[in-house]
Amino acid sequence: MEESMQSSGPDIFRHVTTTPRHDWTVDQIRSLLEAPFLDLVFHAARVHRANHNPHEVQICSLLSIKTGGCPENCGYCSQSVHHKTGLQVEPLLQTEQVLSAAKKAKEAGATRFCMGAAWREVRDNRAFDRVLEMIRGVNALGMEVCCTLGMVTEAQARKLQEAGLYAYNHNIDTSPEYYEKVCSTRTIDDRLQTLENVRNAGLTVCCGGILGLGENQTDRAAMLHTLATLETHPESVPINSLVRVEGTPMQENEEVDPVDFIRMIAVARIVMPKSMVRLAAGRLQLSNEAQALAFLAGANSIFAGDKLLTTPNPEFDTDLSLLHSLGLRGKTLETGIEEPSIAVAYGS
Ligand code: SAM
Ligand code: DTB
Ligand code: SF4
């Protein structure tokens, strides 16, 4: 490599490769998280440009298809029955309502449509049949279809796959060690089992986590370590920053420093070079400049639209003008990596 290590930071960066590795240790990942910020962004940007088109950002659209009343007790969530958040519970939407939202999202430039249901797990009932119908409809629009419906068995995941589902979202949220502080109605092993079921059914995996739950730096490293040591890296890794919801046990949590949010994006990019890293919940707390740094550090997707599932998000037009001002464009499904603007001479 031409640049000397003196100019590109501490020793830990010697371990960085542009191709996927599955043997990162928690200590190494923690060292990356704690490295000088600009060195970290520099290395993450290089890994990013070797694997992705740096001018493209995938726009995803989210829709809550069944809102509130969830029996799980995730401490951050507006939709849990265990917290008094004042959220109005709504039954499963009709298929036509969902398809109309998906069409609008597609016209606005979204290429991925994610449907979320506040369920603990999928049950084989009429509601599931309706979700399968929604998936068939959105798939027919030519979008990547993603669902997040709670725990699924392998047989259910196969039905989702056969209906045209592209990805299943199921976040591990935090480290295995801290997990019970975030949710006690299920274990992280339950989460990992669902991820295995999804993978066995031939779906792509969307799995990430949240910053700001009260976790420490080792937990952040351990969360990324759990994902980066899976046999196949999740194709999609959403990194959320806690949206503090009144009435949840986490409403008073300390705000996440934007620099730490960007660090997490950068390290996710380095340890999972080929995955889509999604700058997910928490963008209202980020300035345009911070978002620009996140894109430089390897984020290549956002959730657009003024609502995430239940909480506010930047206005669609605000996002479009941000992307425009940064010279970024929405990713189309046909394009792969084309002409990264900087030649990458990294050894791997
Ligand atoms: N019930 C399903 C489940 O738990 O997998 C799906 C819905 S859940 C709302 C999807 C993900 O959104 C969660 O796993 C969590 O990572 C993220 N999320 C939920 N509430 C959040 C909040 N207040 N702030 C940031 N991220 C949040
Ligand atoms: C993910 O990791 N973040 C998105 C998507 N996957 C489903 C959801 C964010 C939800 C934020 C809280 C809410 O709006 O209720
Ligand atoms: Fe339920 Fe999902 Fe919210 Fe947890 S994150 S309370 S499982 S909707």
**Ligand of minimum distance to the alpha carbon of 151:** 1
Rounded to the nearest angstrom, the distance between the alpha carbon of 339 and the centre of ligand 2 is 32
What's the burial of 192, exposed, middle or buried (CB within 10 Å: 0-12/13-18/19+)? middle
Distances (CA, A) of 248 to 9, 50, 78, 298, 302: 41, 41, 7, 31, 25
Tokens of 160: 């989702």
Q: Which amino acid is at 58?
A: Q
Give the atom of ligand 2 at the shortest distance from the alpha carbon of 311.
14
Name the residue at shortest CA distance from atom 8 of ligand 3. 118
- Using the structure block, give the residue that is written with the tokens 């369920």: 119
The whole-model pTM stands at 0.94
**Residues in CB range of 308: below 8 A, 6 or more apart:** 62, 243, 280, 281
- Residues in contact with ligand 1 by the CB-under-6-Å rule are 76-77, 116, 118-119, 148, 150, 170-171, 173, 210, 240, 242-243, 245, 281, 309, 311
pLDDT in tens, the chain (348 residues): 444 445 677 899 999 999 999 999 999 999 999 999 999 999 999 999 999 999 999 999 999 999 999 999 999 999 999 999 999 999 999 999 999 999 999 998 999 999 999 999 999 899 999 999 999 999 999 999 999 999 999 999 999 999 999 999 999 999 999 999 999 999 999 999 999 999 999 999 999 999 999 999 999 999 999 999 999 999 999 999 999 999 999 999 999 999 999 999 999 999 999 999 999 999 999 999 999 999 999 999 999 999 999 999 999 999 999 999 999 999 988 644 433 333 343 433
Q: Note if 60 is an active site residue.
A: no
Name the residue at shortest CA distance from atom 4 of ligand 3. 74
Catalytic residue among 60, 77, 183, 207: 77
**Ligand of minimum distance to the alpha carbon of 67:** 3
CATH 3.90.1580.10 fits 24-330, yes or no: no
Distances (CA, A) of 243 to 212, 253, 312: 9, 10, 9
- Residues in contact with ligand 2 by the CB-under-6-Å rule are 62, 78, 114, 116, 148, 169, 171, 208, 238, 240, 243, 280-281, 308-311
